[in-house]
Amino acid sequence: MDFSGLPRAELTDDGGKPLEAQLCVTAHIAQTVAEALRQNWAVMAAGGLTSAIGSYDYKAEDVADRFKGVVAIRPKGALAAERVAADTPLDQILTHQVAIAADQGLVSAGAGLTFTQVNAALAEAVGPTSRILVDLTSIASAYVGGVVATGGMGPLRLLPSASLEAVCLADGESTRIVEGEALGTVEGMQGWTGMVTAARFRFYDVPASEFGLVLPVQGSDVDTVAGLLAYLHAWTRITLPAPGGRITGEGGDTVLNGIELVSKDSLEAFIAHAEEPARSKAEGLLQSCEYAGADMLACLTGWSELSIDDVLMSLLDPETETIGGVMIDFGVGFSSGAEMETFRAIREGAPDLARTRARVVQPGKLKPWSTSTDINIIMPADSSALVAVLEAYADYRGAIRALGRELAGSIEVELSAYGHLSPMGIDPHHRVTLFAPEGGEAALAAARLAVAANKRTLIHDLLFAAERHGATITGGEKGAPSLVEIARAAGGEGRLAPALKARLRKARAAVMAAPANFSFRAPKELRTED
C-alpha cells in the first residue's frame, strides 16, 4: 500500500493549523496498521472526530527524521451495524460488524460503529430495553474505538471499562486481545498504545421507559445544589447485575442515570440559536426559572417502570414536599420518545453552542482560544464534601467573571458551565473561551495565562477539598490527558493521591512499552522515566 498517495486528513492542531497526515479509511484495521508499521509510518488512530479540541495535536519534531510520515487510520463505518455469527472471534470482527451472544449478555462491536448503532442492533436481536451502559451525549456520533480510547463517560459517570469485557488491539504485526486490568493500557490512552479494532461489552436490561425531569434550582447557593445531590444519592446508585440482567438501584423502580446542570445564561444563549420545538420548550423553562427565581436548572434523567407523575411523587420528600429542598412547583417532566429528544436538545444545547463558538473563527477576530475543566470527583453521601467542591467552582466562576470585566474592551471572555453534577461523579465542565480582535495576539496570550492560572487554582482547590472530605478524584473523561493536566496543576505527580499516582505510573508504563509509531503523540511526562 502506498500511504504517501493517500488524501490528506482534514485534521487541525489546537491552533487551527492543518496537521501533516494522510487519511486511510479501512474496514481492515489490523492489516493496515501492520503495513504502516512495516513501512515505518507513525499511526494516528481516528474515530468519529468528536473529541475535544487538541486531541490530535503532535509535535512535528517527534515525527521528523523518525518516520516516513503520519497516517490517520479511520475505521470504516456503515449506516447500520452488520450482524455476524455470535461466536465470531473478536479479532475477526470488521469495523462495521456486531456479534451478539444474547444468552451470555455479550456484544462484540467493530471500532467504526456508534453506540446508537450497537444499541439498535441489540434492540433488534434481544429487545428494546437491552443496551450497553455507555451514555456519552455524543453517543450517535462518537465511534466505539474512539470512546474506548478516550475513556469517555456520560451522565451515568461509568467508564467504558465498567462494562467492557475485552478489546482487540492492533499494535504490531498481529493483533492482541486485551482484558481485565490490562484494559487500563488502552482505555483513556488516546490511541498512544495501539489502535482498537473491536471491543466486547456486557449489555444489560433497563426499565422500560426513560424520563427527564427539569427542576429550577432557586438561587445560586451551593448549599441548595449540595442538598439536592445528597438527597438524590440513593437513586443514583446502580448495581450492575450479571451480563444481560436487569439493572436495579437503591431507589426501587426508579433509577436516576444522570443529574446535569444547565445555567440560566446557557439556556438564554441556547434560545437565541434553537429551532422548534426545542425553542418553545426552552422558553417555557426559562419562564419557570424566572418564576422560581432560579439561576440554574437541574436536569434529571432516569429509567423507571412508573409514569412520570409517579416518578415525581416517588422522589418527593413527604415532610418538606420538596425534592431535597428544591420546590417542584416549577418542575417540568418529559417522558415520550419525542419529548425526550427535545429534552436532550435543550440539555445538550449549551455545551454544543460553547464548543461550536470555541472552534469558529469570527470575521475580524483571531481564532478563539478555549479551555474546559474536566475533573471527575466521586462524592461521599454527606453534603459538606459537596459544598466544598461546589464552592471551588463558584470561586472559579467568580475569578473568570472578574477577569472578563478587567479585560472588557480588548478581550471578550465567555464562560459556559454545564455538565455532570451527580453524586456518582461531579464534573461540571466550565468552558472559558477568549475572543480577541485581529492584531490582539499579545493581549490574547496574556489573557490565556491568566485563565490557565485560575484553572490551576481551581484544580488545586478541588484536590484539597477531595482530600479533606473523603471524596475521590478519578481523573476526567479524557483519560490520560486529564490525569496529566491534574498532575501539572498539582505541581507534580508526587502531590497526587496514591490512586491517581498509581494510574499515572501505569499510563507511563503502557506508553513506554508501546511502539513509538503510536506513542509519539503522548505528552512528554508519559514518555520519560519518573
Ligand X SMILES: Cc1cc2nc3c(=O)[nH]c(=O)nc-3n(C[C@H](O)[C@H](O)[C@H](O)COP(=O)(O)OP(=O)(O)OC[C@H]3O[C@@H](n4cnc5c(N)ncnc54)[C@H](O)[C@@H]3O)c2cc1C
Residues forming the site for ligand X (CB under 6 A): 44-51, 55, 75, 111, 136-138, 142-143, 145-147, 149-150, 152-154, 190-191, 195-196, 352, 355, 477
Min separation Cβ 492 and ligand X, Å: 25
Min separation Cβ 218 and ligand X, Å: 27
Residue 376 or 454 with smaller CB distance to ligand X: 376
Residue 324 or 523 with smaller CB distance to ligand X: 523
Residue 206 or 480 with smaller CB distance to ligand X: 480
Min separation Cβ 98 and ligand X, Å: 16
Q: Are 194 and 171 in contact (CB under 8 A)?
A: yes
Residue 189 or 465 with smaller CB distance to ligand X: 189
User: Given its phi and psi angles, is residue 224 left (phi above 0), alpha (psi -120 to 50 degrees) or beta?
Assistant: alpha
Min separation Cβ 521 and ligand X, Å: 7
Min separation Cβ 330 and ligand X, Å: 27
Residue 232 or 514 with smaller CB distance to ligand X: 514
Do you know the residue count of the chain? 530
Radius of gyration of the chain from its Cα atoms, rounded to whole angstroms: 23
Residue 13 or 352 with smaller CB distance to ligand X: 352
- Least Cα distance to 190 among 43, 45, 16, 32 occurs for 45
- Least Cα distance to 396 among 426, 369, 425, 416 occurs for 416
Helix (H) or strand (E) holding 145: helix 144-150
Min separation Cβ 169 and ligand X, Å: 8
Residue 75 or 324 with smaller CB distance to ligand X: 75
Q: Where are the alpha helices (DSSP H) in 320-440?
A: 337-359, 383-407
Distances (CA, A) of 152 to 52, 139, 158, 371, 482: 11, 10, 9, 18, 11
DSSP state string for 272-313:
HH--TTHHHHHHHHHHHHHHHTEEEEEEEEEEESS-HHHHHH
Distances (CA, A) of 199 to 109, 112, 403, 455: 5, 11, 45, 35
CA–CA gap between residue 169 and residue 115 (Å, rounded): 19
Min separation Cβ 285 and ligand X, Å: 20
DSSP secondary structure letter of residue 172: S
Min separation Cβ 117 and ligand X, Å: 12
Helix (H) or strand (E) holding 217: strand 209-218
User: What is the residue type of 219?
Assistant: G
The residue nearest ligand X at its CB is 146
Residue 126 or 136 with smaller CB distance to ligand X: 136
